[in-house]
Amino acid sequence: MAGRSRRGDNAVFKVACRRKAGSLTGEKHVKVRVEQGDIARYGADVLVVNLFEGVTAPGGGTGAVDRALEGAISKVIAAGDLRGKSGELVVLHTLGRIPAPRVAVAGLGSREGFDIDAVRNLAANVVRGLRRPGVRKVATLAHGAGVGGLDPEAAAQAIAEGSILGGYRFLKHKTANDEERAEIDEVVIVEHDGGKVAAMQRAVERGTVLAEATNIARDWANEPSNHLTPTMLAERAEALAREAGMEFEVLERREMERKGMGALLSVAKGSAEPPKLVRLGWRGRGGEGWDLALVGKGITFDTGGISIKPAANMEAMKADMTGAASVIAAAWALARLGAKVNVVAIAPCTENMPSGSATKPGDVVRAMNGRTIEVINTDAEGRLVLADALCWANELGAKRIVDVATLTGAVTTALGDICYALMTNDETLCRQVEEAAAAAGEKTWRLPMWKEYDEFIKSDVADCRNVGTGNRGAGTIVGAKFLEPFAGKTPWVHLDIAGVDNLSADRGWATKGASGYSVRALINLGLRLSEA
């Protein structure tokens, strides 16, 4: 009995330690690095090699390991137990033939269509697939850099991103046992050619920052709303800003009132928690103005307000602040990477609650730019908080604006959980965002912004209404059409991520629960603008 209670105490102690260590950049994650060496002779708990579909006699690093194992890999292929299919992971025991006790062969899929996304997803599957007590150190080939024909630096970055993103879990509130807590400590990319190592190591470091930023956004989105109120979100944002040497500012209710932010305030009215308008700035280029403003919806819980939501699945609305988390994490990453771009992240944060002081359907409110809004449905609150945040981005001198929001359930009806919707008033910025997202392995799909849709949000009593009239559909476009006048003439892209921000199962680099979609796309956009 004494032994049992001692073990119990240890478990509690461990949880407390992890929490402290992970307070800023998420829970402890796998460390990735590059080393020059010969993979077959490398000392690790597992060696990860690879195989294209249809290959019977492996070459390159996999061939070298096969020879060291006296043809064990070829024999498993011949037996039909290893086919190189994408997602496949076959673990062999080396029985003392080489220093490492295990070899894992990861399937690369078919050669056609093999790309950097496949490498990132493979690395994620490998980290999840090999997670077990006894596996702490993993050595891997730079998948795709050999016969795959991919750039070694890009492959190294993708392995770092995939390993750190794929290994993500949210265990903070769980009293998990040691088996559940088993974690891979390090992934070493073993590269034969010493001349490539330094550049690959730099790529790994870049990938690590991108993945860490994503995991921060995931942590915030997975956090229950009683552990992440607008006040607590602002505190966490301040800690990040301090760490990266960024400007930091929070507008309180009083300042919102002074600026005439009646749309944002109308959402906050029903809640006992004070709203926070959070701003982080990074002047990497120097000088005046902001090359890029990132605006993110920060509803820390969306009950719908007086237009209350049904009980089923309402708990998912703790993640109605993934837009805010994404823009803050992305700006932090750009600061950490020293990007030569002036970027500002703006996050209007509040709960959307029903109460005696809540906004009621039919109420008319006035946004910062003077535009009046008839609030037909208090559950269309995201566009209200974004309206004032977009006005503020313009007041601050934004040259381009990208907003990110879990804005409509309709986007899931249209596109499912495969891609997110993009709407814009500017062709150039649209293309830049599309390319930045594609480079992150994120699919986007553009929806139209034809003037015919303006009809949908005409009001009899105000300048506009916050939801469409009748049953005319196009809910996602209507949301964007509502936002458009608040962006004004500034080049602007609106991303509706409500279909992809929370996944029901792991999918390559994207994990179950908060997926982290849009974070690396925004970082890539900032990096592209800094090169220009």
Catalytic residues, by residue number, are 309, 383
Please identify which residue in 117, 212, 302, 374 interacts with Zn ion, judged by CB under 5 A: 302
110 near 54, Cβ under 8 Å? yes
What is the distance between the alpha carbons of residues 108 and 145, in angstroms, rounded to a whole number? 12
Q: Shortest Cβ contact with ligand BES: which residue? A: 409
Q: Is residue 320 a contact point for ligand BES (CB under 6 A)?
A: yes
Q: Cα(73)–Cα(118) distance, rounded to whole angstroms? A: 22
187 vs 385, beta carbon nearer ligand BES: 385
Taking the complex as a whole, the smallest distance from the CB of residue 322 to Zn ion amounts, in Å, to 10
Tokens of 433: 């965002």
How many residues are recorded in the chain? 532
Query: From the list 36, 110, 372, 377, which residue makes contact with ligand BES (rule: CB under 6 A)?
Result: 377
257, 259, 368 from 265: Cα distances, Å: 8, 11, 11
Q: By C-beta, is 246 or 306 nearer to ligand BES?
A: 306
Please pick, from the candidates 126, 467, 522, 529, the single residue that binds ligand BES as defined by CB under 6 A.
467
423 forms beta bridges with 494
Per CB under 6 A, 475 contacts ligand BES: yes
Task: Choose from Zn ion, ligand BES, Mn ion, none: what does 467 bind? Cβ within 5-8 Å by kind.
Answer: ligand BES
Nearer CB in complex with ligand BES: 410/477: 410
Alpha-carbon distance of 438 to 434, in angstroms, equals 6
User: Of the two residues 392 and 482, which places its CB atom closer to ligand BES in the complex?
Assistant: 482
Among ligand BES, Mn ion, Zn ion, none, what binds residue 351 when CB lies within 5 to 8 Å by partner kind? none
Per DSSP, helices labelled H in 112-268 are 116-130, 152-166, 178-181, 197-222, 230-244, 253-259, 262-268
Containing H/E element for 524?
A: helix 519-531
Quick one: 348 or 441, whose CB is closer to Zn ion? 348
Which range of residues in 30-38, 343-351, 378-386, 449-457 is near ligand BES by CB under 6 A?
378-386
Q: What Cα–Cα distance (Å) separates residue 37 from each residue in 19, 193, 237, 280, 385?
A: 36, 8, 41, 42, 54
- Indicate which single residue of 25, 86, 201, 406 sits in contact with ligand BES (rule: CB under 6 A): 406
Single out the residue of 94, 222, 408, 530 in contact with ligand BES (rule: CB under 6 A): 408
Positions 264 through 303 that interact with ligand BES (CB under 6 A): 302
CB-based closest residue to Zn ion: 302
User: In this chain, which residue has its C-beta nearest to Mn ion?
Assistant: 379
Rounded Cα–Cα distance for residues 196 and 155 (Å): 12
In the complex, the residues that contact Mn ion under the rule CB under 5 A are 302, 379, 381
Q: Give the whole-angstrom CA distance, residue 129 versus residue 109.
A: 17
**How far apart, in whole angstroms, are the C-alpha atoms of residue 331 and residue 343?**
7
Span from 54-62, 195-203, 275-283, 298-306 in contact with Zn ion (CB under 5 A): 298-306
Residue the block writes with tokens 């795709």: 144
Rounded Cα distance between 256 and 165, Å, is 37
Q: Is 117 in the site for Zn ion (CB under 5 A)?
A: no
Q: Which two structure tokens, joined as six digits, stand for 173?
A: 């509130």
Minimum distance, C-beta of residue 381 to Mn ion, in the bound complex (Å)? 5
Cα–chain-centroid distance for residue 483?
23
Whether the Cβ atoms of residue 106 and residue 88 lie closer than 8 Å to each other: yes
Per-residue contact track with ligand BES, 412 to 451, x per CB under 6 A?
A: ----------------------------------------
Rounded CA separation 174/162 (Å): 24
If one asks whether residue 382 binds Zn ion (CB under 5 A), the answer comes out as: yes
Q: Could you tell me the smallest distance in angstroms from the CB atom of residue 349 to Mn ion? A: 15
- Of 105 and 404, the one with the shorter C-beta distance to ligand BES is 404
Least distance (Å) between residue 484 CB and ligand BES: 16
Q: Which is nearer to ligand BES, 11 or 308 (CB)?
A: 308
Radius of gyration of the chain, Cα coordinates, nearest whole angstrom: 25
- Rounded Cα gap, residues 142 and 335, in angstroms: 28
Write out the binding residues for ligand BES, residues 492-521 only, by CB under 6 A. 498
| Nearest CB to ligand BES, comparing residues 191 and 417 | 417
* Binding positions for ligand BES, rule: CB under 6 A: 302, 320, 377, 379-382, 406, 408-410, 467, 475, 498
